[in-house]
Structure 1
Amino acid sequence: MYGPSDSASKDLWVDIDHLDKEKVKIHGILSNTHRQAARVNLSFDFPFYGHILHEVTVATGGFIYTGDVLHRMLTATQYIAPLMANFDPSVSRNSTVRYFDNGTALVVQWDHVHLQDNYTLGSFTFQATLHSDGRIVFAYKEIPISVTQISSVNHPVKVGLSDAFVVVHKTQQIPNIRRRTIYEYHRVELQKAKISNTSAVEMMPLPTCLNFQSCGPCISAQIAFNCSWCNKLQRCSSGFDRHRQDWVDSNCPDETKEKVCDGIPDTTRPPPFTTTLLPPMTTGSKLFTTLSSAPSTSQWQTSMPTEDDTKIALHLKDTGASPADSATEKKGGSLHTGLIVGILFIILIMVGAMLVSVYMYHHPTSAASLFFIERRPSRWPAMKFRRGSGHPAYAEVEPAGQEKEGFIVSEQC
């Protein structure tokens, strides 16, 4: 992050006014509407969390949506947000949404945009630049007030990145209907207080498991992700990326337990449930689903399962231990001895359950946490999106024909 006194702040700002006017496009609809989004095709391959994107969706609210599934709640996850807020370009003739693609980078600029619920605060001018090497730059030219003072009552205020994977489930209650669940597995939240006039943020991408194309380099990779190789898919992954559905459907989690290449065990791998953490740049997590909810997953953040999810994990553990209690008591030989053994066994189970809960509390993306996530009963309650839930509805400028609404959210504490 660079402040106003850093020369890099000025260097990272792209002066669109001095570029080729024929290549700088002013989006007429986005520049005159509120809560609208439009797709923009990229002339280059843009890697985002290791995934190659060929198009993005630019929104009037100061962010870029990167997901494949378009829905009205674009502010929830899968975004690149230099300054997400309740901007309304239609309230001023000087407000525009412009973008420029030179073949190696896309620059999107929100120019002189105002907040709909507080027009008198002044105009904001900022931009996001996506580079072909995965680098992302946020640059700010005009920020009239502190970002921390922007109201989030009618629209979330975010500065950072987010990505998620989509999992499709078949529902037993309604034939031929599938439930689509969106898990936000990673988020980067930048310090809003440091966003000011002539400031900038430059984010460099870390290597991911998806970069490795063969088994050997994959399982021996010394990066900040726990990489595994799936022979069936011929793919390297941590299990947490946009290909999660294929990874699970192909039984890759079971296949990768042995950590082998061509029958040779890999002795350099850490033991199960060992994770390597990234710097603590991320906080919070949510998940979004069409019919039901489950705990969110993020290996690099301080979030944890919700209270209901913790109770479910303990409930499943206790249920599975009941037969063992009965068997232990029968083997005791005497009522007194059996009672003592039974009490000790129950105490051990409770201590074990507490340790498991604490582990899942701090490692929501571990195999143990996912076990309970994927087996969560559908009868557990979920909350539907409401207008006051903090996720306003966005409409696509050019609808793709099929409406994608009706998402359900379970908030993370």
Structure 2
Amino acid sequence: MNFEYFISRRIRSKKGDSFSRPIIKVSIAGISLGLTVMLISVAILQGFQKQVRDKVAGFGAHIQVTAFDSNNSFEPSPIYLQDVSIEEIADIPGVAGVHPFCLKAGIIKTEQEIHGVVLKGVESSYDWSFFSEKLVSGQLPDLSTDEPSGDVLISSRIARLLGFAPGDDLRMYFIIDNTARGRKFRISGIYDTGLGEFDEMYVFGDSRHIQRLNQWDSAVVSGVEIKLDRFSDIEKITDQIYNTVSYKLNTQTIKQLYPQIFDWIEIQDINVLIILVLMALVSGITVISTLLILILEHTRDIGLLKALGAETGSIRKIFIYATGYIAGYGLLWGNAAALGLIFLQQKTGFIPLPEDSYFVSSVPVTIGLPEILIINLATLAVCLLMMLIPSLVIRFIVPVKALRFE
């Protein structure tokens, strides 16, 4: 029989007037709360980063190929598709889609209002999966017609500002050689992504309209977007694409195009790291306090065991087993509480957020098994290390004095 484990069970299950019993419950609750906070913090961070990354990439894909001399205006210099090697890029492992696009700054005018926008022209093969999820009314533009399609997709912000609804006509004006030229479109649908900076700006339509306005042929575009299967491959694939396209073209990631958004996202990593460190320390200090109380309450028992010949290492094991039980139960309840709340938030979104400030309407949460295991193992490791500190007190307990201890 493992007598250390047997005695530790008696210690932690001791009933009656035991002073340590409520302390054990408080300790379990403290470790549980700390783990819950850590798991939820990581889930919110990962969920938030994924949501914002996916939304920004939905507008501009993960990688863009444009002319080297393009400035930061909304009308980049044109490029020729033969310089891009679309087929070769599409064959790169990890590339989900390659789509040419055209950009043209314009003004939407109604009888009462005017609003500056950017018309983003795409081809019939464009991947609309992102906008199909964000569609709030109407339908996606039909670009499969022989002639340039008049369908456009606008945001709910523009629709509210200018009083548009699906099916309405929309007149947009463009400046060509210092002359205003108008084009009439039909609003096929309205989308809402929650990214105010983008929603107020972009209107999606047929790239052939922009090519005609700029007097380009079908082989001339503003740039080429590349969508990837995994965001984590963005740096590696960007280098591959850069070595594939013509020397006259530049390859930029979505992080380089919108650094202010991604820098803001990365700042959140520091906040969560601070929370993780603080919660781990709280759990460790809780374990130290509980173990010291257990040792203090059972000082006479320790003296008796030493008098009977028990080694100091064996006595230390008794209390390490006891606090290991506390840590284990704390982790169990912490996982149950955290994963339950994460699942509930994923399904119901019961915790809302102001979308104008955070780009999402409710707190986004996502966490994988590796993160759960790492946080649990790290918390357990901290608790085990903290156990060793107060357990060293046992070696200084003298049996004669301990047996007289009250």
Rg larger in structure: 2
- TM-score (norm: length of structure 2): 0.23
- TM-score (norm: length of structure 1): 0.23
In proportion to residue count, which structure has more strand? 1
